[in-house]
Amino acid sequence: MTMRFLTSCLALLFVLTGTRVDAQKLSVVATIPDLADLARAVGGERVEVTSIAKGTMNVHAVPLKPSTLIAVSRADLFLQMGLSLEHAYVPGLLRRSRNARIQPGAAGFVNCSEGWDPLDVPESLSRSRGTDLHPLGNPHFNLDPRGGMHIADRILEALVRLDPDEAQYYRGRHARWRKSYEASYARWTKLSERLRGQKLVAYHRDFNYFLSFHGIELVDTLEAKPGVPPKPNDLLRLVERMQAEEVSVILTALWSNNKSVRFVAEKTGATIVEAPTMVGGVPGADSWLKMMDQLHDAVVLALLD
C-alpha cells in the first residue's frame, strides 16, 4: 500500500465521518479532573487527556501509580492548578519523568493559577498554624464560578502555542464552551441575591472561593488548623459556636465527610451537605459546568429550602 493511497483513504474517511485522522494528537496530563475536563472541552479530538487525581480524592494526598510516571514522561502538555496545591508530588514527578517538554518554564508546562487573584494568602508560614499552608494563597479556585473561564483561557493559550496550525480549531471550541459557561454563570450569579448573608461551617477551606463569591459567611471550620484533624475540644467549641450563632449547615467533601462531621451534626442538628470539590466528586458531576451546578444546587437546597 503506497503512502499516496493511504493518505487518500484517510482524507476520504474524514470527509465521510467528519473525524480527524490525519494528525497526531497532543498528549495532555492534568493534575485534577477539572483541568482534564476543560482541556477536552477546548482541545476536542486534537488531544488525549489523562488526569492524575480522581474527583473523590483529597487533592492534598494524591497517590501516584507507575502509569502516572509513564503518562507524564510522554506528555506534550502538563497542567497544574498551582498555588502549591500539588507541591507534595508534582516537582518530583516532573524531575523523574525526564521530559524536557513539560518542565517549568517550557512551552508544555502550564500553571493555571497565573493571573489569578488568590484568597487566603497567609501572613505567617509557621507550622504552628497548620500543616496545609499555601504561601501564595488558597489553591481551590476551581470552585469559584469564575475559575473555569480562567482555566479554559490558560489552556487555550497553551494549545495554540504548542499546535499553532490548529489555532482556529481550538479558538472555535473555546468560544462554544464559553457560550455554555456564560449561560451557567448567569444562573449562578442570580443565586447570589438569595445566598448572600447566609451562614455555614465547613470541614476544610476548599469551598472558600465559592462562599466568598456568593457572600456566604464561613463561620468556622472543623479543622482548627488547615490540614490538622480536629481534636475533641475543637469540636466541642465548634458545637457551642454553631448553637450560639444558629448555624445549621456543615459543608464537606466526600473525603472529609467523616466521624467528626457526623459528631458535630448530631450535637447541633445541622444538615450535612456533601458537595463535589472536583469533577467526578459526586455522581453526575462529570464536567466542570455540571459539577458547579451540583455544588450550587446542594448549597441552595440546604440553606434556602
Which pLDDT score is estimated for 129? 54
CA atoms within 13 A on the CB side of 182: 6
Residue-wise pLDDT for 192-201, tens only, equals 999 999 999 9
Residue-wise pLDDT for 199-244, tens only, equals 999 999 999 999 999 999 999 999 988 889 999 999 999 999 999 9
Class of domain 194-304: alpha beta
Class of domain 17-116+126-180: alpha beta
- Mean of pLDDT values over 167-191: 98
Specify whether the backbone of 196 is left (phi greater than 0), alpha (psi in -120 to 50) or beta.
beta
Strands (E) located in 95-238? 109-111, 199-202, 217-221
Nearest Cα residue to 220 out of 196, 186, 245, 197: 245
Mean pLDDT of the residues in the chain: 91
Q: Choose the weakest-confidence range: 4-8, 56-60, 86-90, 170-174.
A: 4-8
Q: Indicate if 194-304 has the same CATH topology as 17-116+126-180.
A: yes
Which pLDDT score is estimated for 305? 77
Residue-wise pLDDT for 250-273, tens only, equals 999 999 999 999 999 999 999 999
The band of 14, judged by pLDDT with boundaries at 50, 70 and 90, is: very low
Ordered by start, the domain boundaries in the chain are 17-116+126-180, 194-304
Handedness of CA 101, 102, 103, 106 (dihedral sign): positive
